[in-house]
Amino acid sequence: MKLKYYLTMPSIIFLLIMVVFPLIYTAMLTFCDYNLTRSRGITFVGINNYINLFFNERFWHAVSLSLYYTGLSVGISFLVGFGVALLLNSIISFRWLYSTFLLIPMVMTPIIVGLGFRFMYSPRLGIISYFLSVLGIEDANLLGNPEWALITIILTDIWQWTPFAIAVLYAGLAYIPQEPVEAARVDGASSFQILRYITVPFMKIPIVTVLVIRSMDVMRSFDKVFIMTRGGPGLSTETLSIYSWRVGFAWFKMGEASTMGIFMLIVIIGISSILLRICGSKE
């Protein structure tokens, strides 16, 4: 056996242990009734977990919240990130300085971001609530309001991860050839026409990269939601990741929780496949 196979073998073994085995084990648990509080162990139940999940209204409510969370967060962060990337691309002086400051939120851990914004949204001590009171909105308990709690978390997620969209899209803008742009300007094309017919087609791969990675990340987002609301008030922020955690680690129903995890995996693969098909390229 060649040396290169010996050198890659530790990585392959680590990948099998840390990724492939847990995935196979989780998939097997979806066909079992496994409750950690019972002494009878694992019982094979076939597709009952999938059937029960299909008729579980709370599960579908969590799915709808996750899709809403994903669509709104990814859409807004992409649009804002694209706009800021275009603005940065037009700036000549101190571009590196602006880019550095804009990337700061992305390098912060989600738990710290969640705790920080939880304090800032506090109705009595938070700085955001203070500015709202200046505007005449007293005791604005945004995280305690079922109508605003999820929107508040989405805004927090947008604040943290829009810099990722800025970084990827700005890097894509830097590699657009200038010859077509200059030729279009000579022919009298407007800035919007250049953006639509030249910039966006050349940016197809970076755009889809941002949408796919952000969609996968937001769909399985757990930390910020858990730190800020833990799924409350009521079920207003109980996304699929929060609900599956509650079923698995609060109610100890590992079979049902595993089924939700596999369902989440299928949804993420489906969303990613749709976005990659929109790209129209396998590059």
Q: List domains and CATH numbers for the chain.
A: 64-237+264-279 (1.10.3720.10)
Report the alpha-carbon distance of residue 111 to residue 193 in Å, rounded.
Answer: 42
Report the alpha-carbon distance of residue 8 to residue 5 in Å, rounded.
Answer: 5
Residue with the bigger pLDDT between 14 and 152: it is 152
Q: In the predicted model, what is the mean pLDDT of residues 208-235? A: 93
Q: What is the DSSP string of 113-138?
A: HHHHHHHHT-TTT-HHHHHHHHTT--
Residue with the bigger pLDDT between 238 and 282: it is 238
**Predicted confidence (pLDDT) at residue 283 exceeds the cutoff of 60:** no
**Predicted confidence (pLDDT) at residue 115 exceeds the cutoff of 60:** yes
Q: What is the pLDDT of residue 223?
A: 92
Q: What is the pLDDT of residue 166?
A: 94
Report the alpha-carbon distance of residue 180 to residue 15 in Å, rounded.
Answer: 45
Token pair for residue 62? 């969590």
List, as own/partner pairs, every contact residues 47-52 make where C-beta atoms lie below 8 angstroms and the sequence separation is at least 24, other chains included: 49/255, 49/256, 49/258, 49/259, 50/259, 52/256
Percent of the chain with pLDDT over 70: 98
Report the alpha-carbon distance of residue 84 to residue 86 in Å, rounded.
Answer: 5
What does the mean pLDDT of the chain come to?
A: 89
Q: What is the pLDDT of residue 280?
A: 58
Q: What is the pTM of this model?
A: 0.90
